[in-house]
Amino acid sequence: MKKHSHLFFDLDHTLWDTDRNAEESLREIFEEQNLVEKGIPDFEQFHSRYQNHNERLWGLYAENKVGKDAVRVHRFLNTLQDFEIHRPEIAHEIADQFVQRTPYKKHLIPGAFALLDELHGRYHLSIITNGFKEAQHIKLKASGLDKYFNSVFISEEIGVHKPDPKIFTHAVKHAGAVHISDCMMIGDTYQTDVFGALNAGMTAVHFAPGIEKSHDQPVITIKRLEELLEHLGN
């Protein structure tokens, strides 16, 4: 008898290739906005600064220290300011273009479809994500991931972000799991996905392609998505 009946996945960086999709959009926007002419030497420097600001702001968003609009706009506002470009209107335009086009990008983490094909029909599959609601539903549909999932739980719709255990217990309840011990959470971010799931009483799997040493128990570490099958016990 299998130990887990319900599997919960993070979306960004776990199934949907956020870095590749975002970089593709940003390259397009960089050219369209003629940002070299505005004072940014090249795309690589722009992208590097953006990644730093984006990661920091998403961390603050998960801690409820900043709101959605701050993440959406300030990651670009701060990036432009790093290059002495004090043009808020450009930051707002880039932000609008970015959120309008990026969710339609279809690049997935290698092995995502193969894994979900194996799991679909054998487990109750759900998404738990901190991403913006208008983007997450588009990502799932445009990429073809939506057909695999019985339930999608978005923090913005529920009113609480990972790692707060409340979002996990809410998801478990509404997914129809009998016991929280029947549930496994798979995600790439230790603070939000793993830490939150453990505190809620779920089995936690850290998808960490770049990690050198695996975590100690009870955390399960996988470096490729297909490795998850080895830990499902059937």
Q: What is the pLDDT along the chain (234 residues), one digit of tens a residue?
A: 468 999 999 999 999 999 999 999 999 999 999 999 999 999 999 999 999 999 999 999 988 899 999 999 999 999 999 999 999 999 999 999 999 999 999 999 999 999 999 999 999 999 999 999 989 999 999 999 999 999 999 999 999 999 999 999 999 999 999 999 999 999 999 999 999 999 999 999 999 998 878 888 899 999 999 999 999 965
CATH of the domain at 45: 1.10.150.240
Q: Are residues 51 and 123 in the same domain?
A: no
64 and 155 part of one domain? no
User: Is 153 found in the same domain as 196?
Assistant: yes
* Cβ neighbourhood burial of 39 (10 Å; 0-12, 13-18, 19+): exposed
12 shares its domain with 122: yes
What predicted TM-score, i.e. pTM, was given to this entire model?
0.93
CATH number reported for the structural domain that contains residue 191 in this entry: 3.40.50.1000
Same domain, 80 and 129: no
Q: Residue 27 domain-assigned?
A: yes
Length of the chain: 234
In a domain, 120, yes or no: yes
Provide the domain count of the chain: 2
Same domain, 99 and 184: no
Q: Verify that 83 and 189 share a domain, yes or no.
A: no
Q: Residues 6 or more apart from 176 whose CB is under 8 A from it?
A: 6, 124
What's residue 1's pLDDT? 42
Same domain? 124 vs 221: yes
Distance in angstroms (rounded) separating the CA atoms of residues 157 and 149:
17
**First and final C-alpha spacing in the chain:** 8
Which residues have C-beta within 8 Å of that of residue 45, sequence separation ≥ 6?
83
Are 129 and 97 in a shared domain? no
In sequence order, the 6+-apart residues with CB closer than 8 A to the CB of 212 are none
Give the mean pLDDT of the chain.
95
138 belongs to a structural domain: yes
Check residue 64 and give left, alpha or beta (phi > 0: left; psi -120 to 50: alpha). Answer: left
Whether residue 203 contacts residue 193, with contact meaning beta carbons closer than 8 Å, is answered with no
Distance in angstroms (rounded) separating the CA atoms of residues 7 and 122:
10
Specify whether 97 is located in the same domain as 120: no
Q: Identify whether residues 142 and 90 lie together within a single domain.
A: no
Please tell me the distance from the alpha carbon of residue 12 to that of residue 29, in angstroms, as a whole number.
21
pLDDT of residue 151: 97
> Could you list the residue range(s) of the whole structural domain that residue 159 is in?
6-17+108-231
Written as one letter, the residue type at 50 is: Y
